[in-house]
Amino acid sequence: MTTPTTTPAPARKKATFNTLTVSQVRKLTDDAVEVSFAVPPELHDDYDYIPGQYVALRATIDGQEVRRSYSICDAPVKGEVKVAIKRDRGGIFSTWANETLQPGMELEVMNPQGAFTSKTHMTGLNDPEAIKEAVDKLDNPHLVAVAAGSGITPIMAIAQTVLSSSPETTFELIFANKGGGDVMFAEEIGDLKDRYPTRFAVHHVLSREQRVNPLFSGRIDAEKLQKLLDNVVRTEKVDEWFLCGPFELVQLVRDELDAREVERDNVRYELFTTGKPSGNQGQTGRPVDVDPEGDNVEIKFQLDGLSGSAQSPTSANESILNAALRVRSDVPFACAGGVCGTCRAKVTEGEVEMDENYALEPDEIAAGYILTCQARPLTDSVSVDYDA
């Protein structure tokens, strides 16, 4: 990556943690819960959000700090934030949350982040009238989402908001799960069908259950996806797409939409996992010893108006995030896997390369923004600005 241009990238709220109280824990399935947090009046503005955004949660579990990101799963309501947490096999945080979280407990919750929001319906936060005004500029807009498992969580917030805000919008959902008992928000999806019978449609695809129509049984592979897009969803009539789930499904749908010449600007996507091991998720950065012979890279960063720097040995091939965490523990990050975008910063000096990027838009990259968890220096000195 070369030295960045000066094109401005979209403004985002600075990532900041606050202590919030759990107000409700609701069972969604055998392996998933919905967790509601009460937001005090003085923090209402900080936790205002656009449907589709996420929050990071931070807790100390067995003496270890653990952070995980979860999408907000309900239409915006002042004073409340809801997330859905599905238990992952071997997942430290998700298992703890499903087994331990109770009303009255306190948790560190980052203010809402993320760009998995409708470009067509981008609005002022928590502003249904602004959503309606933007939607009304289109001619009967039709939105389609493809989700799998817990990928439904941001889709619920987006669908509920646009359907309630605009009487002309239609929304179609292809939802993949193992079986009927694994469907998160089954009751809420049914309510949407009852409330908007002519404007909302859902197509459940169950990989381990036989359904009357074989098209809706089995995994969504390339052949099944083509049939779904040919016979169920009229691709040419879709104004905007939302894809959320595991890497394999999201990439499969993106490739197919590319082949059908769907404009990329009309396709929004978010990954819940890349299928690859993520980097360090500790609070202080993995230990790295500076090279006494002086073969080091200087990594400088700006955060909250204060400057910091760290020497990083060239042989360590250390990420900018890891180096910064060794100096300041409050450097923002959540997933450390190139998925959430919380550790976003702007390169102001030097050159870097990124291993992965599943969070930044092309215009952000062109403006010099990087994911510091995935970025490694290419020059002897690199400076990044987390405040930009």
pLDDT band at residue 12, thresholds of 50, 70 and 90?
low
What is the distance between the alpha carbons of residues 9 and 17, in angstroms, rounded to a whole number?
23
Strand partners, 205: 176
* Three-point CA angle 281, 374, 114, nearest 5°: 80
- Is residue 277 predicted with pLDDT exceeding 80? no
Q: Give the bridge partners for 60, in sequence order.
A: 65
Which pLDDT value is given to residue 1?
Answer: 34
Specify the pLDDT at position 275.
55
Residue 92 confidence (pLDDT) = 93
* DSSP-derived pairing of the beta strands 306-313 and 296-303: antiparallel
Confidence of residue 273 (pLDDT cuts 50, 70, 90): low
Q: How confident is the model at residue 63 (pLDDT cuts 50, 70, 90)?
A: very high
Is 70 exceeded by the pLDDT of residue 244? yes
- C-alpha closest to that of 159 among 119, 206, 199, 127: 199
Most confident among 189-203, 235-249, 289-303, 332-346 (mean pLDDT): 189-203
Q: Which pLDDT does position 315 carry in this prediction? A: 85
Give SS3 for 56: strand
> Which CATH superfamily does the domain covering 17-110 fall into?
Translation factors (2.40.30.10)
Which residues on neighbouring strands pair with residue 26, listed in sequence order?
A: 34
What CATH number has the domain spanning 296-385? 3.10.20.30
CA-closest candidate to residue 28, choices 124, 153, 175: 153
* Tens-digit pLDDT profile for residues 347-366: 999 999 999 898 888 889 99
In angstroms, what CA-CA distances link 75 with 18, 29, 156? 21, 21, 8
Q: Above 80 in pLDDT, residue 118?
A: no
Q: Are 256 and 225 within 8 A, CB to CB?
A: yes
Q: How many CA atoms lie within 13 A of 89 on its CB side?
A: 0
| CATH 3.10.20.30, the chain: domain bounds | 296-385
Q: Percentage of residues in the chain with pLDDT exceeding 70?
A: 87
Q: Is 368 a residue whose pLDDT tops 90?
A: yes
Q: What is the pTM of this model?
A: 0.80
- Closest among 170, 244, 224 to 201, alpha carbons compared: 170
Q: Where in the chain is the domain with CATH 3.40.50.80?
A: 128-271
Kindly tell me if the per-residue pLDDT of 9 is higher than 50: no
Q: Where in the chain is the domain with CATH 2.40.30.10?
A: 17-110
211-234 residue pLDDT tens: 889 999 999 999 999 999 999 998
CA distance 111 to 180: 33
**Banded model confidence at residue 33, pLDDT cuts 50, 70, 90:** very high
Task: Name the CA radius of gyration of the chain, rounded.
Answer: 21
Name the CATH code of domain 128-271 (choices 3.40.718.10, 3.40.50.80, 3.20.20.70, 3.30.70.360).
3.40.50.80
Residue 144, helix vs strand vs coil: strand
DSSP conformation class of 217: B
Q: 8 pLDDT band (50/70/90 cuts)?
A: very low
Q: List, for residues 307-327, the tens digit of each pLDDT value.
A: 999 999 988 889 999 999 988
How far is Cα 115 from Cα 52, in angstroms, rounded to an integer? 8
Name 5's Cβ contacts closer than 8 Å, sequence gap at least 6: 366, 367, 368
